[in-house]
Structure 1
Amino acid sequence: MATVPRPGAYVCGIDAAMDVIGGKWKVLILWELGARPNRRFGELRRNVPGITEKVLAAHLRELEADGVVHRESYEEVPPRVEYSLTEAGLRLNEALAPLGAWAREHVLGGRPHPVGA
């Protein structure tokens, strides 16, 4: 997690970026938030198959601390919380798009992924 930059610990920009998006789930969370902003926790949980509530909550906190996800709490009854991408998160998703294109070409053999990534 890149919340507290580690001076001298990064070899290059990719190293620093991987500190933010590393792990199995963060890129999928970012992709979901990019597909439609203002998602509630339950929506994210349903749309990222296989992720547990505990891991989703932890990753959302980390992504928020890293400045790529915004958490908005509404003073309502019952309480409502929505997540969206910050400007930095939008730019990060744009930077990840060529990686998805590479995977479609080289890993999926040109076949579209079932969920459109």
Structure 2
Amino acid sequence: MPIQLPPVPFTHNYGRFNNPEGKLNDGFEAEYFNKALSENHYMIRVRPVENRIKFKKGFIDQTFKLNDENTAIYSTKASSVINLLIFEKDGWQYMLSVDKRISNKVTSEILVEIANSIK
């Protein structure tokens, strides 16, 4: 898991494992939010790369090279309410999402820093 968080205050966090019937949606989710500031919402989703979610080129705004030489894609177009940074590391697909309303505070560069904090 990343050791860095977005630079906004959170009041609550929780995590859960998903293991429904079959393997397609297996994974882990961690969610951070602020009870008083609903826009301060951040999530991490991790799933096996065999069950990765694929994104069409039309949904990709930028690509970044991470410190471990993996490529991350950044999307503001895949959702109307969140921005995403998606990358793979050690057999897992990570999806970092942040509410669009705080995209001026949690930029794509900050999400890349968070991705790079995974050891």
Shorter-chain-normalised TM-score: which range?
under 0.3
Structure with the largest fraction of strand: 2
Compare CA radii of gyration and give the structure with the larger one: 1
Which is helix-richer, 1 or 2?
1
**TM-score normalised to the size of structure 1?**
0.26
TM-score normalised over the length of structure 2:
0.26
